[in-house]
Structure 1
């Protein structure tokens, strides 16, 4: 089993940073999706794709993956860049 561990990003619809400190372990897809012949919806028999485990720290997520024998790839968190601009700059 392969998985990736990443820090949950901020939702585009929220202004605060709630729930962005959590780390998520998400399993990689084991088989590709295929179209259902009757409805045309995409699906697969892979139930691990639905599983998302959350952890308070990166170390806890790593420890769980090692304990369960899961090969985990850690995705580093991108650094935040702030564009500081004053309201008066809009009228220059």
Structure 2
């Protein structure tokens, strides 16, 4: 059972940073999604892909994965760069 650990990025459509400090443990899908012949919706029999666990830190997520024998890989978060710009800079 494989999983990935990552930090949720900031939503580009909103200015708030709610829930960006949480770390997510997501399970990798075990089987491919397929289209339902009747309705055309995509789905699979893999129930682990529906599970998403949140942790306050990456260390706690790694400890949880080690405790339950989950092969997890942590993805680093790129540093946030703040571009300070004045309104007058639009008219240079």
Shorter-chain TM-score bucket reads over 0.9
Moved over 3 A (4+): none
Q: TM-score, normalising length from structure 1?
A: 0.95
2:42 aligns to what?
A: 42
Total equivalences in the alignment: 92
Are 1:67 and 2:55 an aligned pair?
no
Are 1:56 and 2:56 an aligned pair?
yes
Which ranges in structure 1 are unaligned for 5 or more consecutive residues? Answer: none
Q: TM-score, normalising length from structure 2?
A: 0.95
Which ranges in structure 2 are unaligned for 5 or more consecutive residues? Answer: none
RMSD over equivalenced CA pairs, Å? 0.9
Q: Deviations over 1:30-65 (max 9, x none)?
A: 000011111111110000000000001111000000
Are 1:81 and 2:75 an aligned pair?
no
